[in-house]
Amino acid sequence: MTDVLNSEWLKLRSVRSTTYVLLAIAVALLGGALVSYLMTADWDTSPPDLQQKFGAADPGVMVVPFAQFCLGVLGALAITSEYGSGMIRTALVSVPRRKAYLLAKTVVVAGVSLVVALVTTLLAYQAGELITGDRPRPISAYDSFGDAVPTLLANTASLVLLGLVGLGLGFLLRSTAGALVTLCGLLFVLPTLTLLLPYPWNDRVYSVMLPVLAPQLSGELPDPPLSPVGAGLVMIAYLVLALGAGAAALLRRDA
Amino acid sequence: MIEVRQLTKRYRTTRAVDGLSFEVKPGYVAGFLGPNGAGKSTTMRAVLGLDRPTSGEALVDGRRYADIRRPMHHVGALLDAGAVHGGRSAYDHLRVLARSNGIKDRRVVATLEQVGLAGVADRRVGSLSLGMKQRLGVAAALLGDPGVLLFDEPVNGLDPEGIRWIRHLMRDLAREGRTVLVSSHLMSEMALTADRVIVIGRGKLILEASMQDLQEKFKKDVLVRSTTPDALVAVLTAAGATARSEDGALFVQGLDAPDIADLAARHRIPIHELTPRSASLEDAYLELTEESVEYRTKETGR
């Protein structure tokens, strides 16, 4: 098993797409910081009554959804690039135990996603703190680091989840385009569409959409449809569903 | 040792492989022949555990491939040289495969040198020529120093020098006591490489024989031209041969050319031409697989 893990880790490191995905997240971080800086500058020149109406200048708000998509792409590419090129056949000849193959890929994608997610959320938090300085709420998102921890952890969990959902979709669909379109649907299209449903179903269905799980997990949303535990369970359901379907496709179908 | 037993693989409605059985033992090159679509690749994919047989089994050294731990130490395979991630360097590609079976980087370097790719080790696989990719595929198969080797159409895309290289390589591997199975749809190629042939068509075994037996089996007849064919036919028939006449020539079966010449001389029958004719292996192969060719063009001008 260590051999297969080693191999998968080298696989992920030795392709350029991984670098590009990480660069995209870095660019998003810079963009998020820029937006926060501009908001803060605007806040500084606004009259006090308007200052109260500002949202938080937290780069994370912009960076996390983008990084979710990026990690979904990373997870999907980890396997769809093999189906696209035919490398999967070479790979499964060297590792014919498909369960071990799936497990190694899952562990590597989860590990990389976790590290990237932690670094991204911490950098976004740190950038926000540097930019807003000792300004009060609401322009400053958090009073202290302890105040931010639940949000940072929930965002990290959602980022790792997206990496693995991407991987599961990749195993299931075997196509880069298919996996990315599905990811876009889950992250950006479906949540908007659910709002068109009649009340109360719009709120209920919206609450289990991928992008709104992290804020419910951290408990930062006022009066959320899902409790933190509920949100966590829904996240686990996504994970089991995506990887389960991917595993079934890998184990049952011919390569 | 490769054992295929009553292997059947059905895709929806078509039977790609249909009750196929054969064995390949160590020490010789086995040519796996058949027209396009005969089921050669499907059989190899089943041996390597990529496709699950509908029924029957394929064993390598007595085991199912999927049950072998670190299989690259036992079996090396070149299926499709293009089936690689184009973005990795040749060196990284081999390292990825090597690591999955606990093979050291040192061995990767040695194998790259063995196949003549040391100079392009850092180039991305996507930028390599088809011939170089073919060599890279061979390198991947050799990484674990396996006792059983499967090559699917290994000479495709190789230049003459590369073709000769792979021929020598396969013969050397067999001479070292390894089991070597090579598929091809070209008899002419196998005639130069293989010691035994397994011919299949439409997923079924047509013939399994040594190359010598195959040549013997398709040895044909002797063409004889004489000014007095009728007299010659009488003499030949009396000696136990059969002769048929066509376009003023006789085609004699059952006697060798020297015997025919001696007989004719003894009876003072003049002979103008005496040519032993053996069907080329290519003809033999075409004759064998004629019934089972899946895709053919309409023949014109015959």
Going residue by residue through chain B (302 aa), what tens digit of pLDDT does each one get?
Answer: 999 999 999 988 888 999 999 999 999 999 999 888 889 999 999 999 999 999 999 999 999 999 998 999 999 999 988 889 999 999 999 999 999 999 999 999 999 999 999 999 999 999 999 889 999 999 999 999 999 999 999 988 788 898 999 999 999 999 999 999 999 888 878 888 899 999 998 889 988 999 888 777 776 688 899 888 888 888 888 888 888 888 888 888 888 888 889 988 999 999 999 888 776 777 777 777 776 665 666 555 44
C-alpha–C-alpha distance, residues B97 and B189, integer Å: 30
B120 three-class SS: helix
pLDDT score recorded for residue B302: 41
C-alpha–C-alpha distance, residues B207 and B32, integer Å: 10
Taking residue A237's Cβ as centre, other Cβ atoms within 10 Å add up to 11
Inform me whether the C-beta atom of residue B90 falls under 8 Å from chain A C-beta atoms.
no
Q: Are A25 and A66 in contact (CB under 8 A)?
A: yes
Nearest Cα residue in chain B from A5:
B100
Contacts by B207-214 with C-beta closer than 8 Å and gap 24+?
B207/B288, B208/B22, B211/B31, B211/B281, B214/B281, B214/B284
Give the structural domain span for A7.
2-252
CA A56 to the chain's CA centroid:
21
Q: Which residues of B43-53 are buried (b: 16+ CB within 10 A; e: fewer)?
A: bbbbbbbbbeb
Nearest Cα residue in chain B from A250:
B50
pLDDT score recorded for residue B186: 81
Q: Are B112 and B139 in contact (CB under 8 A)?
A: yes
The alpha carbon of residue B81 is apart from the nearest alpha carbon of chain A, in Å, by: 9
Please state the CATH superfamily assignment of the domain spanning residues B2-215 in this structure: P-loop containing nucleotide triphosphate hydrolases (3.40.50.300)
C-alpha–C-alpha distance, residues A241 and B157, integer Å: 43
The full DSSP string for B168-202 is: HHHHHHHHTT-EEEEEES-HHHHHHH-SEEEEEET
What are the residues of chain A with a beta carbon less than 8 Å away from any beta carbon of chain B? 3-4, 6-8, 10-11, 14-17, 81-82, 85-97, 254-255
3-state helix, strand, coil in chain B (%, to 5): 40, 30, 30
Q: Are B288 and B198 in contact (CB under 8 A)?
A: no
Which residues does B76 contact at the CB level (< 8 Å), separation at least 6? Answer: B140, B141, B142, B143, B144, B146, B148, B149, B150
pLDDT score recorded for residue A213: 93
B179, exposed or middle or buried, with CB in 10 Å at 0-12, 13-18, 19+?
buried
The alpha carbon of residue A149 is apart from the nearest alpha carbon of chain B, in Å, by: 38
B29-33 sheet: strands from edge to edge: B75-78, B148-152, B179-184, B29-33, B196-201, B204-210
Taking residue B238's Cβ as centre, other Cβ atoms within 10 Å add up to 10
Contact check, Cβ <8 Å, B48/A7: no
Q: Are B79 and B45 in contact (CB under 8 A)?
A: yes
Query: Looking at this protein, which amino acid is placed at residue B142?
Result: L
Domain count, chain A: 1
Tokens of A174: 């075997």
B63 three-class SS: strand
Which residues does B231 contact at the CB level (< 8 Å), separation at least 6? Answer: B267, B269
| Chain B residues inside the 8 Å CB shell of A93 | 48-50, 71, 77, 79
CATH classification of B221-278 is 3.30.70, yes or no? yes
Dihedral of the alpha carbons of A238, A105, A101, A214, in degrees to the nearest 10: -10
Query: Looking at this protein, which amino acid is placed at residue B180?
Result: V
Count of H helices and E strands in chain A?
Answer: 12, 0
C-alpha–C-alpha distance, residues B230 and B243, integer Å: 10
Q: What tens digit of pLDDT does each residue of A45-56 get?
A: 999 889 888 888
The full DSSP string for B250-262 is: EEEESS-HHHHHH
- Strand pairing class (B29-33; B179-184): parallel
Which residue of B68, B86, B100 is in closest CB contact with A7?
A: B100
Tokens of B36: 């396009």
| Chain B residues inside the 8 Å CB shell of A16 | 87
Residues 34-63 of B with CB under 8 A from A: 45, 48-52
pLDDT < 50 positions in chain A:
none
Q: What is the DSSP letter of B66?
A: G
| Chain A residues inside the 8 Å CB shell of B88 | 11, 14-15
C-alpha–C-alpha distance, residues B189 and A62, integer Å: 62
pLDDT score recorded for residue B294: 58
Q: Are A226 and A207 in contact (CB under 8 A)?
A: yes
- What region, left, alpha or beta, does residue A92 occupy, with left being phi > 0 and alpha being psi -120 to 50 degrees? alpha
Q: Are A214 and A64 in contact (CB under 8 A)?
A: yes
Question: Which among B48, B63, B85 is the top mutation candidate for probing chain A, defined by the most A β-carbons within 10 Å of its own β-carbon?
Answer: B85
Nearest Cα residue in chain A from B126:
A85
Question: Which among B99, B101, B127 is the top mutation candidate for probing chain A, defined by the most A β-carbons within 10 Å of its own β-carbon?
Answer: B99
A24 three-class SS: helix
Nearest Cα residue in chain A from B53:
A254
C-alpha–C-alpha distance, residues B198 and B23, integer Å: 9
Question: What are the sequence ranges of the domains in chain B?
Answer: 2-215, 221-278
Complex prediction ipTM? 0.88
Size of interface A-B (CB pairs under 8 A): 84
Tokens of B257: 């050319």
Residues found in chain B = 302
pLDDT score recorded for residue B219: 67
Question: Which among A16, A90, A108 is the top mutation candidate for probing chain B, defined by the most B β-carbons within 10 Å of its own β-carbon?
Answer: A90
